[in-house]
Amino acid sequence: MANAISSFRPARKRETVTQDLGLLAELSGTWEGQGFNLIARPEASGKSPLFLELNQTFETLTFNAISSSIPNRGDAVPDIELFGLTYLQKVVDLVTQGALHIEPGIWVHIPSGDAGGNQRVARMGNIPHGNSLLAQGIALLVDPVPAGFDPDKTAPATTAPFHQNTPMPLPGTPGAFKPFNLSDLSPAAVDFRTPVGNPPNGQIPATILGLLLQDVINDPVKLLTAALNGQVIEKMAVIEISTIASIPVVDPANPAKSIPKNFPGGGGGIENIPFLQTNADAATMFATFWIEEIQGPTPDTNFFQLQYVQTVFLNFPIIAPPATPVPFTWPHVSVATLRKVFGGQ
């Protein structure tokens, strides 16, 4: 077959590797920075079935380019070559430095799917809780970036729980779970809400980056917008991935109806060990990443910044008592603003 890939795959030149990675190339290196994490999780105290955990986070995210191609050999369809990077994500609580998350995985660029200026990409990740995910999507270049670019206008996040198999609520919609409302100081709320960064008895900060914490809980992407204050983005790559092709969301023009939220190229899935399937089933993941070149005082002082918002739908068969237990979806939302640091490229 004329398109057959050679069995011998030497390491390629650095410039060739960079070219093969497409818009994923600038990920290579180590990134560090701060973010925010919101997750409702099972609570076995007997007082309430769920606990709302809020954390200010510090994250280290390292990417290493794979120096040779990854051949996918075909029979019914021609051979293709993927190009990728391994990654390791480590997240700790900003205040306590306690471990929150670790995730090894691989990002791949799928050049056979490039069309119309967009590039096909996929992310494969493993989480020690007992989850493995495959999320697919697209990457596109935005150059120049429109003045006043606002991540919250392109990818606002919903945090409120909702009945399974119903449309996802609009961002900022209050949740039925009392701890989501910081003005609620009743034991039913306070006893089941982790203060940001200081579990279990520390003070919740009134603001983060000048934003009221209640606004951050309602839509954490507002933190990404606040982090861009005073910055000028010269160009950026936008990466959108999802384990599904679309989900129904509430129609803002008619809340009684729904409209699809589409994820171009989205597909894949999440697998969970049986324990998680019973207690906290991770069902869906979607995320947007922005790789931003930020203008410095001079052209040679420009620097790179990575921002992202990621939502995982966790399905719990419960809601706070005294309601009858029903299957609910609880969005687990993470955001961060990271900068490429000295020591890796």
- The CATH number of residue 22's host domain is 2.40.128.20
How many domains are contained in the chain? Answer: 1
Please tell me whether the peptide bond between 179 and the residue prior to it is cis, using omega within 30 degrees of 0: no
Q: Is residue 2 part of a domain?
A: no
In a domain, 8, yes or no: no
pTM: 0.92
Range of the domain at 69: 14-340
Q: Are strands 131-142 and 118-127 parallel, antiparallel or unpaired?
A: antiparallel
Residues 6+ apart with CB under 8 A from 339: 31, 32, 33, 303, 304, 305, 306
φ and ψ at 120, to 5 degrees? -85, 135
Q: What is the pLDDT along the chain (345 residues), one digit of tens a residue?
A: 446 777 777 788 888 888 999 999 999 999 999 999 999 888 776 666 788 899 999 999 999 999 988 888 887 778 888 999 999 999 999 888 889 999 999 999 998 766 667 899 999 999 999 999 999 999 999 999 998 899 999 999 999 999 888 999 999 887 778 889 988 888 888 888 887 655 555 556 778 888 989 999 999 999 999 999 999 999 999 999 999 999 999 999 998 999 999 999 999 999 999 888 778 889 999 999 999 999 998 888 999 999 999 999 999 876 555 556 678 899 999 999 999 997 666
Residue 156 lies inside a defined structural domain of this protein = yes
Residue 151 domain-assigned?
yes
Continuous H helices in the chain = 14-21, 151-154, 187-190, 213-218, 222-227, 274-279
Question: Does some domain include residue 289?
Answer: yes
Q: Is 174 part of any domain?
A: yes
Q: Is residue 172 part of a domain?
A: yes
Residue 137 resides in a domain: yes
